Chains A and B, each alone.
Chain A
Amino acid sequence: MTTDTLQEAAPPVSKFSVRTVLHNAGIGLALLALILFFSVFTEHFLTPNNITNILTQITINLILAVGMTFVILIGGIDLSVGSVMAFAAVVAGKAITLPGFGPAEAIALAIVAATLTGVLCGFLNGAISAYWALPSFIITLGMLNIARGAALQVSEAQTIYSFPFAFEEFGSAMIYGVPVVFLVALVLVFIAWFVLNFTVFGRLIYGIGNNEEAVRLAGHSVSRYKIAAFTICGLTAGIAAIVYMARLNISSPIAGIGFELNAIAAVIIGGTSLSGGRGSVIGTLLGAFIIGVLANGLILIGLSDFMRQMITGVVIIVAVILDYYRAKYAST
């Protein structure tokens, strides 16, 4: 093992990280191979414009996947993020179009509304599944319907539009060709990485995913951390809603259908174990890139929609099979 080269002074999580890094290198290699493939077989893939496109395109999925990483690390799942995003977007859309506010106040109001909506939904997901010890799969499936219904109810099934100009500016702003919204997502990835690796909270998130009972017997309130993980997931859905609104300048109650599955796919392709306790948000970043690059590249290559869908499915399965072998070799 390469751990032999590590100094004893390395932080205690390093073995964990080394494994993760090894694995991420694997995913990174897969990503590199995809990029190489598309660069060779399409003429536009590696152009600055297309790179900007890809970064924009993966942003929302990446933001949702960051929150999803926390939930999956504790061994849960959140099926509601797509619907919660739509609900948050609609609530924020209502807030931002309230009459009598200047653009700055309206935008601030919308941001608060979206994040609060997301946090509330996530908190409910966590609190209900933790308090009654129910599988999060079914609770968040319920929330998927509640949030979608609420989004339609609040918006009366109408698309909300005409937001302040500054909001739209933010949505399409670039810094050296990098979309600002993507930078927002990157900052979230960094924060999540820091929290998961360098805080007591993150340590216990991993601990709970590995062995909930041991963490509980060591005197920690497991439910509190579970609720927190779901709340974080809800918060990222709220942030994704803001990005959605800024990018498209509308709030649609039918936005985000199926987004939860893409977010879960990014997390799992990124090497986080569905049973919890193992994985990293850096992997999630790479997983989101793989999905985004694939979606983009397969269009550029001129593949039909149906073939595209099939190949995306194959990639998800292959990624999980690779993860199986990785786990097997890592444990020996």
Chain B
Amino acid sequence: MKLFKIAAAAATGLALLGGTALADDKPVVGLIMKSLANEFFQNMMVGAEAHQEKRGDYELKAVGMQNETDFESQINAVENFITQGVDAIVVAPADSRAMVRPLKKAMEAGIVVVNFDVSLDEDAKKQQGVELAFVGPDNRGGAKLAGDALGKKLGEGGKVVIIEGNPGADNATQRRLGFEDSVAEYKLNLLDSRTAHWETEEANQVFATMLTAHPDIQGVMAANDSMAIGVVKALESAGRTDIEVVGFDNIPAVGPMIEDGRMLATVDQFGTDMAANAIDLALEVVSSGEQLEGWVKTPIELVTAN
């Protein structure tokens, strides 16, 4: 397996300022990330920096945020980038509604804006009269890939539970919907669905208790791999080997679990490349002037033992 990532929980932490100052005539790209305490975005950031190093024909200014809900610092970052007169802003919005307005201002200032990772809210975009493409993975489709793998394994009527991410988070909602799509398609029996806030320890506790309430569980869909690890640990403690687990993100720690069968599958959305790909697209727009449209889906892939 190559590089891996995690789409994990909120955390207080670092607000990193990255980027290297290069020659003046190169286009400047402002990258606005989410919480760098999150392994997933940390890796994405590293990927973007490597990408800048490799291409060398643009200047990268990157900004992270304190935690997942701190969207104010993202708004400030947009305003700062407008002041600095960057050529393009590449943004992973922390709030799909709050970010529309400041980004509109950036577009009016003639800056190329590329929205990746999480899509801006469609209604909010309409309301503000903003047309903006989205570059990113299909969380719902990805979750459905994992869910389908489980559905195929268990067959009709398989008894499953869902471990959700943070209630209210967009990707958590999308992944839950994706799992529910699989449940519907394979006519699975959904026994329970609860949040563990993306966190291993909490998933461990929550699932252990779910297992007590429903000893006949056959499959678990966890909205990220950190929580899947907690589920696997709970199964080990309970001495159960007959229950299948799928996760999401393909973080390094689940590699061995997939190989030895403790986990059935996870989903890789190639997060490391996600920011880099979005930057490529932004630079293309800057040089060609051709706008992006609709949803530019980035690759997702089901990861299994084979």
Residues of chain A having any CB pair with chain B under 8 Å = 42, 44, 47, 49-50, 52-53, 56-57, 60, 83, 144-145, 148-149, 152-153, 156-159, 161-162, 172, 244, 247-250, 252-257, 295-296, 299-300, 302, 305-306
Q: How far is the CB of B68 from chain A (nearest CB, A)?
A: 10
- Chain A residues contacting B233 (CB-CB under 8 Å) are 172, 247-249
Sample of 9 more A-B contacts, CB < 8 Å, known A248-B230, A253-B37, A295-B205: A47-B212, A56-B208, A152-B11, A152-B13, A158-B39, A159-B226, A172-B233, A296-B212, A302-B213
Q: In the assembly, what is the distance between CA of A12 and CA of B226, in Å?
A: 51
Q: Is B201 an interface residue (CB 8 A)?
A: yes
- Chain A residues contacting B237 (CB-CB under 8 Å) are 52, 56, 172
- Chain B residues contacting A152 (CB-CB under 8 Å) are 11, 13-14, 36-37
Which residue of B is nearest A308, CB measured?
B194
Q: Check A255–B13 contact: CB distance below 8 A.
A: no
The size class of the interface chain B forms with chain A is 35 or more
Q: Is B204 an interface residue (CB 8 A)?
A: yes
- Chain B residues contacting A57 (CB-CB under 8 Å) are 205, 208-209
Which residue of B is nearest A49, CB measured?
B212
Q: Check A254–B195 contact: CB distance below 8 A.
A: no
Q: Check A157–B36 contact: CB distance below 8 A.
A: yes
Residues of chain B having any CB pair with chain A under 8 Å = 6, 8-14, 36-39, 42, 167, 192, 194-195, 199-201, 204-206, 208-210, 212-213, 215, 226, 229-230, 233, 236-238, 251-253, 256
Q: How far is the CB of A89 from chain B (nearest CB, A)?
A: 10
- Chain B residues contacting A295 (CB-CB under 8 Å) are 205, 209
Q: In the assembly, what is the distance between CA of A115 and CA of B236, in Å?
A: 27
- Consensus secondary structure, chain B interface: helix
| 3 shortest interchain CB distances as A-B pairs | A161-B253, A157-B42, A254-B11
Q: How far is the CB of A118 from chain B (nearest CB, A)?
A: 17
Which residue of B is nearest A158, CB measured?
B39
Option from B8, B200, B205, B212 in Cβ contact (under 8 Å) with A44: B212
Q: How far is the CB of B18 from chain A (nearest CB, A)?
A: 14
Q: Check B201–A299 contact: CB distance below 8 A.
A: no
- Consensus secondary structure, chain A interface: helix
Option from A257, A300, A305 in Cβ contact (under 8 Å) with B195: A305
Given contacts A49-B212, A50-B212, A172-B236, contact A299 B11 (CB under 8 A): no
Q: In the assembly, what is the distance between CA of A249 and CA of B12, in Å?
A: 23
Which residue of A is nearest B10, CB measured?
A257
Q: How far is the CB of A50 from chain B (nearest CB, A)?
A: 4
Option from B38, B167, B199, B251 in Cβ contact (under 8 Å) with A255: B199
Given contacts A299-B209, A300-B212, A305-B194, contact A253 B11 (CB under 8 A): yes
- Chain B residues contacting A247 (CB-CB under 8 Å) are 201, 204, 233
Q: How far is the CB of B2 from chain A (nearest CB, A)?
A: 15
- Chain B residues contacting A305 (CB-CB under 8 Å) are 167, 194-195
Which residue of A is nearest B253, CB measured?
A161
- Chain A residues contacting B208 (CB-CB under 8 Å) are 53, 56-57
Q: Check A257–B42 contact: CB distance below 8 A.
A: no
Q: In the assembly, what is the distance between CA of A42 and CA of B200, in Å?
A: 26
Q: How far is the CB of A297 from chain B (nearest CB, A)?
A: 9
Q: In the assembly, what is the distance between CA of A255 and CA of B201, in Å?
A: 7
Q: Check A145–B12 contact: CB distance below 8 A.
A: yes
Q: Check B12–A144 contact: CB distance below 8 A.
A: yes
- Chain B residues contacting A161 (CB-CB under 8 Å) are 252-253
- Chain A residues contacting B213 (CB-CB under 8 Å) are 42, 44, 299-300, 302
Given contacts A50-B212, A250-B253, A305-B167, contact A255 B200 (CB under 8 A): yes
- Can you name 22 A-B pairs with beta carbons within 8 Å? A47-B212, A49-B238, A50-B209, A57-B205, A148-B13, A152-B37, A156-B42, A157-B13, A157-B38, A158-B39, A159-B226, A159-B252, A248-B201, A248-B229, A248-B233, A252-B200, A254-B8, A255-B201, A296-B212, A299-B206, A299-B213, A300-B213
Q: In the assembly, what is the distance between CA of A255 and CA of B226, in Å?
A: 10
Option from B42, B201, B212, B252 in Cβ contact (under 8 Å) with A53: B212
Given contacts A152-B37, A157-B36, contact A244 B14 (CB under 8 A): no
Q: How far is the CB of A232 from chain B (nearest CB, A)?
A: 23
